Amino acid sequence: MLGGFDSEGNPVLYQTDPAGTHSSWKAQVIGGRNAKSLREFLEKNWKEGLEEEDAVTLAVRALLEVVDSGAKNMEVCIVKNGSKSTTPTIMSESELDEYVAKIEAEKEEGASAVPAAE
């Protein structure tokens, strides 16, 4: 996986394989036995023009599909174009915990909003 920005400042994401073939993506996952289902999840939920918070939420939602212990077993890196620092930012576990808690609360609200079957 290789990500960055093109000459116009637009984000780009490429995946390469050992044979040298490469493909461009808007969102992608690699590795593991769940890659296909996570790719489908991203294809269904990714939208053009996501704000940073929405993009991070989508990434964390995807990771929660395969990670059992929340933020303890995930890493999210944010790369911004035009930021003063060219160093990517790795989110802290406490920052990720906030996203996980928000997502889990939304799931609980959604589950409680479903009427019980008679």
CA–CA distance, 68 with 46 (Å, rounded to integer): 23
DSSP letter string over 10-62?
-EEEEEE-TTS-EEEESS---SSTTHHHHHHHHHHH--TT--HHHHHHHHHHH
Q: CA neighbours within 13 Å on the CB side: how many for 79?
A: 11
Structural domain boundaries, residue 46: 33-108
- Residue 116: pLDDT above 60? no
CA–CA distance, 89 with 47 (Å, rounded to integer): 23
Does residue 48 lie in a domain region? yes
How many structural domains does the chain have?
1
Does residue 8 lie in a domain region? no
Does residue 44 lie in a domain region? yes
More confident residue, 6 or 68: 6
The two tokens of residue 33 are 């036995």
Q: What is the pLDDT of residue 14?
A: 94
Q: What is the pLDDT of residue 74?
A: 87
Maximum C-alpha span of the chain: 59
Q: What is the pLDDT of residue 32?
A: 76
Q: What would the pLDDT profile of 85-106 be if each residue is shown by its tens digit?
A: 667 889 999 999 999 999 999 8
Q: What would the pLDDT profile of 26-79 be if each residue is shown by its tens digit?
A: 998 887 788 889 999 999 999 998 999 999 999 999 988 888 777 788 888 888
Does residue 55 lie in a domain region? yes
Does residue 15 lie in a domain region? no
Contacts of 111 (CB under 8 A, 6+ apart): none
Does residue 26 lie in a domain region? no
Does residue 115 lie in a domain region? no
Does residue 16 lie in a domain region? no
Contacts of 63 (CB under 8 A, 6+ apart): 74, 76
